[in-house]
Amino acid sequence: MERRRLDRRMNMIRVLLAEDHGLVRAGIKSLLEKSPDIRVVAEASDGLEAIAQFKALRPDVVILDISMPNMDGLEATKYILSIDQSAAILIVTMYLEKQYAVRAIRAGALGYITKGASASELHAAIRNVAAGKRYLSEDGLDAVATRVASPTSAIDLVDSLSDRELQILRLIARGRKVKAISQELAISTKTVETHRARILQKLSLHNNAELCRFAFENALFES
């Protein structure tokens, strides 16, 4: 508590960093520590841990990766905002696919940038989000513009999927079996099968081969 007061007196931006890959997390933390007004006060390796850290520390900015075990970044964003509607969340991800930027904003995140961003852009994104301002990388801005300009297309089919369905579609397309998906997402195999059936129905597809083709054609793979 005393350290929190000191940080605020010094106008430090207190950051919670959630990323499941340790080396990537260490790299992002190293970039953040080069800025004199940003301090990483906690780290998390999955969405559930991020939520617990948020409850305990109430950081100024929460940085979330999208793809994390147990609970992904989009779900964690919604959960954190259900705890505190004023939470400032920045999605920093490997995903270059346009629909993820749109989904992140819909989930309530204030910012979205990719991990290919420069240190200066990352710092700028954190400062903007901490101030309650929206920050989108060039990819994110392009995604929003594309979505507005494309009222009917494959984008609409992807939009029809829930965040969980999109997550499962990606895992199926990457060759994951039902049991492996259930273990990774901590849900039952029956739930995975139910989601798969809904995905097939929404996309008017018939089998995993067609799901894989759809995912490939619509760039649903992590770069």
Strands of the sheet with 111-114, listed across from one edge:
38-44, 13-18, 61-64, 89-93, 111-114, 135-136
Which domains can be identified in the chain, with CATH numbers? 2-146 (3.40.50.2300), 154-217 (1.10.10.10)
- Averaging pLDDT over each range in 3-7, 137-141, 193-197, which range is the top one? 193-197
Q: What is the rounded average pLDDT of the residues 147-153?
A: 53
User: What percent of the residues of the chain are helix, what percent strand, and what percent coil, each to the nearest 5?
Assistant: 55, 15, 30
Q: What is the rounded average pLDDT of the residues 161-184?
A: 89
- Report the chain's mean pLDDT, rounded to a whole number: 85
User: What is the model's pLDDT at position 223?
Assistant: 44
pLDDT of 101 strictly over 90: no
Q: What percent of the chain has pLDDT over 90?
A: 52
DSSP E strand stretches across the chain: 13-18, 38-44, 61-64, 89-93, 111-114, 135-136
Q: What is the rounded average pLDDT of the residues 28-51?
A: 94
Of the ranges 18-32, 105-119, 132-146, 182-196, which one carries the lowest mean pLDDT score? 132-146
Q: Distances from the Cα of 183 to the Cαs of 20, 22, 63, 177, 178, in angstroms?
A: 16, 21, 25, 10, 9
Give how far the C-alpha of residue 206 lies from the chain's centroid of Cα atoms, to the nearest Å: 29
pLDDT of 7 strictly over 60: no
Q: What is the pTM of this model?
A: 0.72
